[in-house]
A and B are shown apart, each in its own frame.
Chain A
Amino acid sequence: EVQLQESGPGLVKPSQSLSLTCSVTGYSITSDYWGWIRQFPGNKMEWMGYMSYSGSTAYNPSLKSRISFTRDTSKNQFFLHLNSVTTEDTATYSCARRPIGSSGFDSWGQGVMVTVSS
């Protein structure tokens, strides 16, 4: 059974960078697609981007200038980097799997709450 687990700082100062890790067990990140989704207070959800099984990426255009994804296949982990954060980036960040051929996110991590505040 695939399991995903996010980790990273719960508090980031404005203008700094946010980096989160998604650790995957039970399934290889060299298969399927892997995404980051965030949920703001009030429940609005935003897709941040995907990393494919080959390592190619697609980002939400609204974040494109600030976001990047990387991965470490030896550890079966992928990473979110978000630059120049503001208070509007305060949200719960989740990683999720999107199987090829499905288009829906069928497995999610538990999410990590990140607050941007000085």
Chain B
Amino acid sequence: DTVLTQSPALTVSPGERVSISCRASEGVNSYIHWYQQKPGQQPKLLIYKTSNLASGVPARFSGSGSGTDFTLTIDPVEADDTATYFCQQSWNDPTFGGGTKLELK
């Protein structure tokens, strides 16, 4: 299995820029996708294939990376962005990261 590792939690202030990382145990050739999940809700696709913004997602969200290291950036962060963010790879049999819980001060 391709293991995706994310930091468990981050705390930022509204208006700041935040970067959420995802490290793969092997190369995934840009096939990394990012989801936002709010409590009691289903995951929402934000970014697909590293840097493509999903339909209806604000341009405050962006993605970057290559090889084994990928980043989701939110700039600026808003109060409504409080959520858990998951990365997922589909270069091999799909796997998900453990999620990064984003909290706002």
Contact = CB atoms under 8 A, between A and B. Distances in A.
Interface residues of B, number: 23
B95 to A, nearest CB: 7
By secondary structure, the A interface counts as loop
Nearest to B54: A106
B98 interface: yes
Nearest to A108: B42
B80 interface: no
B46 to A, nearest CB: 9
A103 B99 contact: no
Given A103-B49, A104-B88, A106-B54, A47 B42 contact: no
Interface of A: 35, 43-47, 58, 60-61, 94, 102-106, 108-111
Interface of B: 31, 33, 35, 37, 42-45, 47-49, 54-55, 84, 86, 88, 90, 93-96, 98-99
The 3 A-B pairs with the shortest beta carbon distances in the complex, nearest first, are: A104-B48, A104-B33, A47-B94
